[in-house]
Amino acid sequence: VSVMAEQSRRCSYFFLYDASKVTGESDPTRDGICYFYPEETPIDKQELLCGQLAGVGRCVSELSSSPVRFLRLHRNKYAIRMKDDFFWALGCSAEVPTISVCELLDQLINIFCFYNGSVRQSYQMNTRETLAARWARYLSNLQSASSELHHIFSSLKTIDSTNVDPLLLLKAALILQACQRCPLVLAGCVLFRGRVLSTQMSPQLTMKVMVHESETYTKSQRPNGPSSSSSLSAVSSTTVFLTLSELQYLQSPPVDKLSRSHSTPQKDAPPKKTRLSRTLSDMASTESDSSDPGPSQRISFSPWLSDSDNSSFSLAPPQIIADPQSPPPQSPVPPLSNGKNSREAEEALKDSFYQSFHSNGDGDGFIHNNGDSSVFEGNSHFSGGEGDGGTACGNVFDLQGAESHDDEAMVGDGGVGCGRAQGRHKAQQRDLAPCSGAFEYPGESPLVPMTLYLHRVKGLVLALLVEPHFLSDTASMEEVYHSSLASLNGLEAHLRTISSGAPGTPGPYIFAHFDCIQSTLTTNLSGGPGGALEHPFVRATSLLHLHFCNTETLQEAIIRSAGAAVYGTRSVAQETYFQQQGGSLRNSGIPNHQDSAFLLPSKARHRLLKHGVNLL
């Protein structure tokens, strides 16, 4: 609780209300309240909020035949989830961008399901108090992201790669590779002091895994806790629940497995992030940066044409593969396939999943080993578009095209930036995909139990998602343990010596660079409190981010208030924001080509090169 008090509360209310407990006239509303944050809220206020919001939510969803996603009051805004009889609401102050509130609630529910399985079953098997403590933990964990910018983008906390020798990142990636030689290991990540060093999983999954890690890390950091080295170097495990789509990405077909093990070991490590982004942005800018009227430039008026131009960005992966300079960046990339596609894949997968169950008469809900995944082969072309990128991407392309027409109508509405209005690639990647497991299934969601294996060496943690019977397979366990132990110790020793380093002074400019695919943020903002100078930048960034999310075709923007001019640009893989500090912005606001605000794009291009951000 003290941790909560320190940080500014991003979330002002959160509750889970179970309407099935309040059916009769005489049932008091409090019976339905499963969890309410802040817990010290007087019970009658809890009842008022739960009763009114759940009631009005039900009424609206009946009128519209669809659950309420978002609800706004004058002073607060609430992301809403309605599922069966459960009603979740997460309230933030009106300044927080709508899209971030929705993402926060989805993350929270997804984390709960990841560690506890289905919500209904959890409440059947555990007391409210037990689960309340868990909701509180997850909530506090989510709120503790390092800066406001991290909140806006819901980005992963990563190690500051500028301070870290790239060889160490490579080493971390190699450790993960080595572990995967054991067929029971699905994927993993290496974390250091609560930050990602290297991961093989999607950002959503990594984020979920990190919750557990940071909890144990915080515990071990407590001065009164047992701080003997033995307790810090330990192996532990916990049961977790994956959605079918997550599982599908992890258990890719044998063909991919093969190519995976042949690939260079650098995959997914943060250094490659810049590599990937650069490649993508290179490509994007040749397509999109049309300020240079070259003779070959095609002027396309047609909405369809320009749409297809944009959706051709989603063909990025094959093009990157073709780049001889960079290693084939396969499979980071479940998120690269768009949401629609993955949803379809899920449908198909679900079918075959059930089929396999029925044909095997094997009802224990486990998918035993990778051999079984031949069941999925029929769907392999859905699985994120590597290898057979041609057909897969063709598919993506079509869906995207068709969808963007529908979306077109909503572009201008300036409406709530939430829900499917922004069924854009980003929302689909980062929003719908993870929540699909919890929400898109009728009835209880078929979550598949797996095991999260943690091997901690002081501040360093190797986290692996493994098949449940890994724990009983002593040979495998020992193999994984011993193959990684020495490397982990070595890595930890190196990392420990690196001072976390006071963040440098921001200098004459501020920037933020968000990698949408890996959900990572690079910025020269300290993130500390009291950045009055930084506030205009954060505000502009949050507003522009919302517009970028809502309009797929939007590529670049300069916005200026009396105090600050901010430049934002995005491609399919990244968003970059830039503000020049100092210097007077005195101007009349009348159009003037000598206005310094319009020099921001070229300044950003030059300045950000040294941060590894290539906007050319």
Partner 1 sequence: MKCLLIASESAEVLFYWTDPEFQQNIQNQYGASQEEGHGLPAFEDSISTLFAPIIISCSTMVDRLGDSYTSFTTENNHVYVLHQFDECLYIAVNGDGEEGEDDLRRKIYVMKKMIEVLFGMVTLSSNLIRRELRPQDTEQRARLWKHLQSLLETYSHLRENDQSFLVEAVERLIHPMLCEQCIEFLEKRLVQQLNSSTERAGEEVLHAFILVHTKLLAFFSSRNASTLATSDLLALIIMTQNMYPSNTDVDDPGPEDVESMSGSGPESFYTPEPSPTDRDSGSSDKPEGVTTPVFEFMDPDIQMAEDSLQTLEGPPPDPSMPRRVFLEISSKEGLYPMMPHSMYCLPLWPGIKLVLLTKIPTNNVASSVYKYLEAFAKLEKRLSEGQEGYAATRGQLTIHDLRSKLDKFIKALGPSDLQSAQLQNAWTEFKNRAFGRGGPGFTKDLIPWCKNMKTQLCSIYRQCFLVDSGPGSVPQRLSPGLQERALTMVQEKLVDWKDFLLVKSKRNITMVSYLEDFPGLIHFICVDRSTGQMIAPSLNITEHASSELGKGPVAHFIKSKVWSFVSRSRDFLRKGYSTITLRDGDFYFCYFLWFENETGYKLEAGDIPILPDDSAPIGMLAWDYYSRKLLRYYSKNHQGEVVKCYELLTVHLGVIPTEIILQHCRQLASKLWEPSRNPLL
Three-state secondary-structure class, residue 569: strand
Residue ranges with strand state E in 157-234 = 185-192, 195-199
- What residue type is assigned to position 364 of the chain? D
Nearer to partner 1 by Cβ, of 211 and 597: the residue is 597
Tell me the closest approach of the beta carbon of residue 507 to partner 1, in angstroms: 24
**DSSP structure class, residue 373:** G
**x/- contact string, 384-423, with partner 1 (CB under 8 A)?**
------------------------xxxxxxxxx-xxxx--
Q: Strand pairing partners for 453?
A: 237, 464
Binding of residue 533 to partner 1 (CB under 8 A): no
Binding part of the chain for partner 1, among 10-18, 456-464, 582-590, 604-612 by CB under 8 A, reads 582-590
Distance CA 580, CA 567 (A): 9
Indicate the SS3 state at residue 416.
Answer: coil
Q: Cα dihedral sign for 349, 354, 355, 357?
A: positive
Q: Looking at beta carbons only, is 482 or 586 nearer to partner 1?
A: 586
Q: What is the DSSP string of 502-541?
A: PPPP-TTEEEEEEETTTTEEEE-----S--TTTHHHHHHH
| φ/ψ of residue 67, rounded to 5 | -65, 150
| Residue 342 or 569 with smaller CB distance to partner 1 | 569
**Structure tokens given for 127:** 């007391």
State the nearest-atom distance from the C-beta of 566 to partner 1, in Å: 9
- Contact positions with partner 1 (CB under 8 A) in 41-60: 48-49, 52, 55-57, 59-60
- In the bound state with partner 1, the residue whose beta carbon lies nearer, of 179 and 540, is 540
Instruction: Report whether 148 contacts 248 (CB < 8 A).
Output: no
Give the separation between CA 191 and CA 207, rounded to whole angstroms: 11
Token digits of residue 443? 């009835």
Q: Which stretch binds partner 1 (CB under 8 A): 162-170, 258-266, 284-292, 363-371?
A: 284-292
Determine which residue in the list 61, 216, 221, 370 makes contact with partner 1, applying CB under 8 A: 61
Give the nearest distance from C-beta 219 to partner 1 in angstroms.
Answer: 38
**Is residue 440 part of the contact set for partner 1 (CB under 8 A)?**
no
The values of phi and psi at residue 161, to 5°, are -70, -15
Grouping H, G, I as helix, E, B as strand and the rest as coil, residue 159 is: coil
Residues touching partner 1, count (CB under 8 A) = 82
Helical (H) or strand (E) element with 89: strand 86-93
x/- mask, partner 1, residues 92-111, rule CB under 8 A, reads --x-----------------
Pick 102 or 466: Cβ nearer partner 1: 102
Could you identify the residue written with the tokens 């797996």?
A: 450
Between 72 and 260, CB nearer to partner 1: 72
Partners of residue 37 on adjacent β-strands: 14
CB nearer to partner 1: give 31 or 287.
287
Phi and psi at residue 263, in whole multiples of 5°? Answer: -75, 165
Smallest distance from partner 1 to CB 616, Å: 16
Binding to partner 1 (CB under 8 A): which residues in 287-346? Answer: 288, 290-293, 297, 299-303, 306-307, 309-310
CB of 199 to partner 1, least distance (A): 30
**Site membership for partner 1, residue 493 (CB under 8 A):** no
Stretch binding partner 1 (CB under 8 A), from 22-30, 356-364, 366-374, 556-564 = 556-564
Tell me the two tokens of residue 2: 């003290």
Whole-angstrom distance, CA of residue 230 vs CA of residue 51: 50
Contact pick of 540, 572, 608, 615 for partner 1 (by CB under 8 A): 540
**Between 521 and 540, CB nearer to partner 1:** 540
Nearest distance, CB of residue 294 and partner 1, angstroms: 9
Q: Rule CB under 8 A: which of 65-94 touch partner 1?
A: 65-76, 94
- Residue 357 in the binding site for partner 1 (CB under 8 A): no
122 near partner 1, rule: CB under 8 A:
no
**CA 119 from centroid of its chain's CA atoms:** 21
d(CA 363, CA 587): 71
CB of 427 to partner 1, least distance (A): 12
